[in-house]
Every structure is written in C-alpha cells, then in structure tokens.
C-alpha cells in the first residue's frame, strides 16, 4: 500500500523519531511511504542513510496542494496517518475524498492510562471542513494486547543477538577511554531536578561510573549542574562525564544495549529502552498541568515496577524532593531482572506496525 504520514514537530525529537521509525518499518515490509513533515532537519542525524521506500516531503503549502490537485499522476495514499493530532491541510483532506476510499488514522501518543484501551480503534467522525462526514480511526500505542502495541521491527531481536558490545565501545568517540571496571550510564533527559543529586551520588560511589551524555538538553543540563556543584565539567571522584555526538537511531539502540543503566525520556527512547532489556529509568515529558504524574504512575503500575525503581522515578521526575535512590549494584541487578521480564512480556504481544496493518485491512 501507499501511505501518507503527516508529522508536525512540536518540540524535541519524539514526533519525528516515531514517525520515521514507523515509516521505515512499513517500507521494510514492502510498503511505500511519503512522510510529510514541517521540520525534517533532525533526520540528518537520526536517519542520514534514509530508507528505500520512504520519501520525505516538506509539509505541503497551498501552492503544492494546488499543483497536486491538478496533477493527474498524484494520488493520495491508501492510508493517511496524522500523527499526534496534527491537522492535515484542508486541501489535502479534499483530495482524500476523491476516488477510492482512504483509511484515515489518527496515531496517538503512548500511554498506559486506562483511556487508551477504551479509545483504541474507535471511530472519530469528521464534523467540519472538506472531509465532513468522513471517519478517522483512533490508533493508540500501548503496553497491553487491547491497545495498538509498541513499534518493534521484525529484525530487532536478530540485530540484538548479533551485537558485540566490546567492538562497538571501541568505536565510540570519547574524551577518555573506558576502563574495564567502569559502569556505563547513558543519559537522555530534559532538566531533571535531581540531576545534581545524581552527579554527587555517582562521584562518591564505591565504583567508577562513566556518564554518556546525549547532546542538546541533556548536555546543557549536565553542564549547568556541574557548574552549580562546582564540579569539573568532566566529573570528579568516581564519576567521569563523556559528552556524545548525535547518532542515528540504529546507533542509539547500540548505546542502550551497551549501557548498564539507561536514563531515557519522552516516548520513543522509552520504548527502545524497554527493548534493550537493561535497567532503565524514564524522565517523562513534563506537562504544565502535571498530567505527566498520572501518566508516570499508570506506566509504573502497568509494568509492575519494583518499589525501589518507583522511588527513583518519583525523585528523578520531581514528584518528591527526597534524596535520590541509590544506584547500588543490588538495585541495578533488581531493575535489570525486572526489565528483562518486562521485555519478554511485551515481546509476546503483537507489534504496532503489524497491528496497524491488520487494522487497516479490516477497515478497507
Ligand atoms: O525528544 P523527546 O523528548 O521527544 C518527546 C516525546 O516524544 C514526547 O512524548 C513528546 O510529547 C515530545 O517529544 C514533543 O524523546 P523521544 O520520544 O525519546 O525521541 C527522541 C528520538 O531521538 C528517538 O527516536 C531516539 C532519537 N535519538 C537518536 O536517534 N540519536 C540520538 O543521539 C538521540 C539523543 C536520540
């Protein structure tokens, strides 16, 4: 099938990260995808190699849409996906009504809250605009079989089985080589209030830690925290800080598979941390109305997270100002055990792209 996927980048990298991953997964399963995006700049590092079968298109302006409307060779895809509630331009909606029926999917954000299973797969009648009377279908990613599932490419497990951690580490551009006994912690976060507490804890720990810091907001947050603590920017005591460059999505997986603890954020890196099967903690995207507190608690409950990891999440996400839970070997071992069990449970469910394909087949 031909797919038109619309992505509006609000902030950060998750909107494009998810849309690219879905597009590439569909293309690898033999579909043709046009990814319409208003800011594709992050693809330069996220997916510099592109993907056969995916054409990235600028968000269509009026002139483009006018030209398309008069171009007999242009056909709207069999499936149109509007990601995360972005509004498809009205002239494109008008084109969607011409010819054969298109399936219109509203792909939503991932959550473990109860409304997800209730709303997944529901029809949403279009009440106004040129597509008035048409139907959109809600498609909700989720953690249970009664939702749309999680993105998981068919070759992921094989890639993971063939991965060699040591070889990969040797190719990582670092400010100081990693010692054999160093623990590796990857950091991809916003501005966690407990970041200074984390740096202090790691610098005073019994064993040495290498903090591998993603560029952008995580790097800026670590710089601000070291400055506030009067700590050297490369760390002190048992902590050594190494800033990383942006890497593509495949390499980002390798970082998560390699690290002894992954501190991830947002939506897509959370899912990749789940597939990595290593201990991880989530810095949830903060919302002004504190809706992220409920979302975090639903996630913890759905995945039956151990109490010590919930405590870490509460402090890391600023729900409490208590001291940060210790990243002791015993805790990491516990969290690793839980993470592997969780991965196994999630792997037993059908992945998002397979579910989306079945859903579309059923609605056509
Ligand atoms: O960037 P994010 O914080 O995106 C967020 C969330 O999606 C959130 O739910 C949404 O509301 C908000 O954006 C607007 O985190 P996320 O979702 O993990 O996306 C990051 C993407 O960037 C992911 O696909 C992984 C990718 N990535 C790389 O490929 N290489 C890198 O070096 C890094 C740091 C990230």
Query: Which residue's CA is the closest to the ligand 1 atom numbered 19?
Result: 14
Q: How far apart are the first and last CA of the chain?
A: 12
Q: What pLDDT, on a 0 to 100 scale, did the predictor assign at position 270? A: 98
Q: What pLDDT, on a 0 to 100 scale, did the predictor assign at position 100? A: 86
Q: What pLDDT, on a 0 to 100 scale, did the predictor assign at position 72? A: 87
**Sign of the CA dihedral running 84, 88, 93, 95:** negative
Residues lining ligand 1, CB < 6 A?
Answer: 10-15, 17, 46, 109, 188, 214, 246-249, 252, 265-269, 285
Query: Which residue's CA is the closest to the ligand 1 atom numbered 14?
Result: 11
Residue 139 φ then ψ, to 5°:
-125, 110
247 CA closest ligand 1 atom index: 32
Q: What pLDDT, on a 0 to 100 scale, did the predictor assign at position 15? A: 97
Determine the 3-state secondary structure of 116 from DSSP.
helix
Task: Supply 179's token pair.
Answer: 């010692």
- Closest Cα partner for 310 from 289, 286, 329, 293? 293
Q: What pLDDT, on a 0 to 100 scale, did the predictor assign at position 299? A: 98
Task: Supply 298's token pair.
Answer: 């639903």
- Closest Cα partner for 275 from 339, 183, 216, 185? 339
Bridge partners of 283? 265
Helices (H), the chain: 14-28, 43-46, 62-69, 90-96, 114-119, 156-161, 165-170, 195-203, 217-229, 249-258, 268-276, 291-302, 307-316, 329-347, 352-363
The residue from 4, 25, 236, 267 that is catalytic is: 267
- Closest Cα partner for 35 from 2, 68, 11, 66? 2
- Delimiting residues of CATH 3.40.50.2000 domain(s) in the chain: 156-347
Determine the 3-state secondary structure of 78 from DSSP.
coil
Q: Check: CB of residue 13 under 8 Å from CB of residue 4.
A: no
- Closest Cα partner for 263 from 221, 303, 223? 221
Class of domain 156-347: alpha beta
Q: Give me the tens of pLDDT residue by residue for the chain, a chain 364 residues long.
A: 999 999 999 999 999 999 999 999 999 999 999 999 999 999 999 999 999 999 999 999 989 998 988 998 889 999 999 999 999 999 999 999 888 889 999 999 999 999 999 999 999 999 999 999 999 999 999 999 999 999 999 999 999 999 999 999 999 999 999 999 999 999 999 999 999 999 999 999 999 999 999 999 999 999 999 999 999 999 999 999 999 999 999 999 999 999 999 999 999 999 999 999 999 999 999 998 999 999 999 999 999 999 999 999 999 999 999 999 999 999 999 999 999 999 999 999 999 999 999 999 999 9
Alpha carbons 35 and 22: distance in angstroms, whole number: 10
285 CA closest ligand 1 atom index: 8
Q: Check: CB of residue 22 under 8 Å from CB of residue 351.
A: no
Alpha carbons 315 and 200: distance in angstroms, whole number: 15
H/E run at residue 5: strand 2-7
Per-residue pLDDT of 11-59, as tens digits, reads 999 999 999 999 999 999 999 999 999 999 999 999 999 999 999 999 9
What CATH number should be reported for the domain whose range is 2-150+350-363?
Answer: 3.40.50
CA–CA distance from 260 to each of 73, 118, 242, 257, 335 (Å)? 52, 36, 15, 8, 10
Question: What are 69-77's contacts with CB under 8 Å, separation 24+?
Answer: 69/94, 69/95, 75/2, 75/99, 76/4, 76/102, 77/1, 77/2, 77/3, 77/4, 77/32, 77/34, 77/102
Alpha carbons 110 and 151: distance in angstroms, whole number: 11
Alpha carbons 272 and 151: distance in angstroms, whole number: 9
Task: Supply 248's token pair.
Answer: 């593509």
Q: In what order do the strands lie in the sheet with 209-213?
A: 239-243, 209-213, 183-187, 261-265, 280-283
Q: Check: CB of residue 27 under 8 Å from CB of residue 51.
A: yes
Q: Pick from 14, 18, 252, 288 the residue to mutate for probing ligand 1's pocket: most ligand atoms within 8 Å of its CB.
A: 14
């Amino acid at each position: 099938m031909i797919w038109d996927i619309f992505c509006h980048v609000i902030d950060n990298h998750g909107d494009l990260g998810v849309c690219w991953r879905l597009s590439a997964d569909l293309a690898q399963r033999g579909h043709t995808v046009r990814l319409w995006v208003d800011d594709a700049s992050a693809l330069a590092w996220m997916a510099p190699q592109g993907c056969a079968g995916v054409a990235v298109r600028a968000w269509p302006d009026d002139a483009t849409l006018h030209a398309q409307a008069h171009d007999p060779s242009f056909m709207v895809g069999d499936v149109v996906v509007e990601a995360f509630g972005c509004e498809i331009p009205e002239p494109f909606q008008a084109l969607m009504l011409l010819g054969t029926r298109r399936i219109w999917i509203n792909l939503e954000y991932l959550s473990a809250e109860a409304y997800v299973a209730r709303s997944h797969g529901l029809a949403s009648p279009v009440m106004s605009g040129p597509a008035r009377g048409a139907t959109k279908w809600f498609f909700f990613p989720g953690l249970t079989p009664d939702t749309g599932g999680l993105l998981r490419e068919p070759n992921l497990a094989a890639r993971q089985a063939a991965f060699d951690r040591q070889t990969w580490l040797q190719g990582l551009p670092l400010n100081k080589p990693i010692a054999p006994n160093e623990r590796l912690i990857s950091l991809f976060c916003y501005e966690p209030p407990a970041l200074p507490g984390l740096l202090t804890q790691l610098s005073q720990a019994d064993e040495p830690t290498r903090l591998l810091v993603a560029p952008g907001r995580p790097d800026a947050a670590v710089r601000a925290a070291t400055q506030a603590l009067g700590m050297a920017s490369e760390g002190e005591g048992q902590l050594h800080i190494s800033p990383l460059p942006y890497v593509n999505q495949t390499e980002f997986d390798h970082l998560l598979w390699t690290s002894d603890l992954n501190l991830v954020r947002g939506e897509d890196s959370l899912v990749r941390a789940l597939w990595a099967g290593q201990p991880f903690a989530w810095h949830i995207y903060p919302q002004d109305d504190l809706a992220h507190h409920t979302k975090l608690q639903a996630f913890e409950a759905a995945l039956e997270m151990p109490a010590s990891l919930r405590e870490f999440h509460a402090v890391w996400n600023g729900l409490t100002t208590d001291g940060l839970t210790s990243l002791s070997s015993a805790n990491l071992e516990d969290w690793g055990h839980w993470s592997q069990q969780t991965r196994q449970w999630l792997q037993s469910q059908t992945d998002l792209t397979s579910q989306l394909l079945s859903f579309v087949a059923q609605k056509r």
